[in-house]
Amino acid sequence: MTMLLRILLAVSMACGVLVPSGGAVAKPLNIVFVNPGKTGEVYWDMVALTMQAAGRKLDAHVEVLTSERNYRTMQELGLGVVARPDKPDFLILSNEESAAVPILEAAEAAGIKTLLLSNTLIGEDAVRLGPPRQKLKTWLGDITTDLETAGARMADALISAARAEKWQSPDGKIHILGIGGDEITPASIARNAGLKLAADSAPDVVVDRMLFANWTQSEAEQVTANYLSWATRKGIRPAGIWAGNDPMALGAIKAISTAGLVPGEDIQVVGLNWSEDALRAIRAGRLLLTDGGHFLLGGWSIVLLRDYADGCDFATNSSHVEVKTSAISRANLGSVGDLIKDRAFDRIDFARFRAKPGRCGQYDFSIDALVSSLAPPEGTAD
């Protein structure tokens, strides 16, 4: 229901925006995005929303197809798009669980240009298919976030907080629990690698376990409860919980409360995604920080494709566009909190982020640039 409404809304907004600027720039673009996530899954919802908001700003019609976290459905949707008689200009895919590869190959056959978002080719696929635009001519490239750095930044914040509070266990070490989403997707692997990187470089830190909770809050709550119980038996004082996304961080917080501990006072939790609930938890002091902002990849991908369609190819710099994430803590919560809370992504002036003529492929997608691009919210109460 809501998705349909949103699509209708997006289409109507796009039509409304496109009419005045249609003559000024080149032809309008027809873009299809096969969303691997579930409806209500904050990150992918926000990716789609920013993608559509950017489309409205950059004269591109963005069609979002949701596969509801079912990779078979995702493949069916993708292959269905490829088989359409009226083919789109661009197809945006996310290679979660490496499920986008068949679609990518089918699109190559159909001559549809593709962009991989968030998850690119890995492992054998990367070796077999090589870099973009070589074997697969229509695969233009990918836009990803540097989640490893994000994971490391989250861990560092956790360790600093624990050090400051002197939450060492009897063995003198700071004991941390890691909760990853899964062990397969590059997005998860990168975050987890960041945690490992940070922990390895801190000799006083021990990651007791790297647990996996399928990105979900309830499973994270369960494993956290298990961990806390185990830690008690082991005589360990748990200092922090590193969660691969915000729902899992919130699950961990719930388990901590259930175990009789006070999150933020007895133990710190970090999450990722800039989710609304996370922002609320930060405000309540139960969550140390949430890293992220990578849902803006949706908007940034439209920026790249607009530039590409207008002859300024992002591959001039690199076909692999990597966007840094940023952490929101209590310190900077106010500037982007409303944006996320209201999902008022039309406040972002995406046209400002297009590459300057002669500097194709060079983009500034930083949080500062974002903040400065924001139009004041409608009804600015605060």
Q: Which residues bind another protein (CB under 8 A)?
A: 209-212, 222-223, 226-227, 230, 233-234
Query: By C-beta, is 60 or 190 nearer to another protein?
Result: 190
Least separation in angstroms between CB 242 and another protein: 15
d(CA 280, CA 58): 32
- From the list 251, 168, 247, 170, the residue with the least C-alpha distance to 215 is 247
Query: By C-beta, is 227 or 363 nearer to another protein?
Result: 227
Least separation in angstroms between CB 234 and another protein: 6
Answer positive or negative: Cα dihedral of 360, 366, 369, 373.
positive
Query: By C-beta, is 51 or 177 nearer to another protein?
Result: 177
| Residue type at 362 in one-letter notation | Q
Least separation in angstroms between CB 227 and another protein: 6
Please give the distance of CA 64 from its chain centroid, rounded to a whole number: 16
Query: By C-beta, is 185 or 290 nearer to another protein?
Result: 185
Q: To which residue do tokens 């661009």 refer?
A: 90
Query: By C-beta, is 212 or 363 nearer to another protein?
Result: 212
Pairing assessment for the beta strands 205-212 and 174-180 based on DSSP bridges:
parallel
Least separation in angstroms between CB 269 and another protein: 17
C-alpha radius of gyration, the chain, whole number: 21
d(CA 113, CA 107): 7
Q: Which residues pair with 206 in a beta bridge?
A: 175
Query: By C-beta, is 183 or 364 nearer to another protein?
Result: 183
Neighbours of 326 (CB within 10 A): 20
Least separation in angstroms between CB 202 and another protein: 17
d(CA 349, CA 28): 18
Least separation in angstroms between CB 97 and another protein: 19
Least separation in angstroms between CB 226 and another protein: 4
How would you class 222 by CB atoms within 10 Å of its CB: exposed for 0-12, middle for 13-18, buried for 19 or more? Answer: middle
3-state SS, residue 253: helix
Query: By C-beta, is 103 or 177 nearer to another protein?
Result: 177
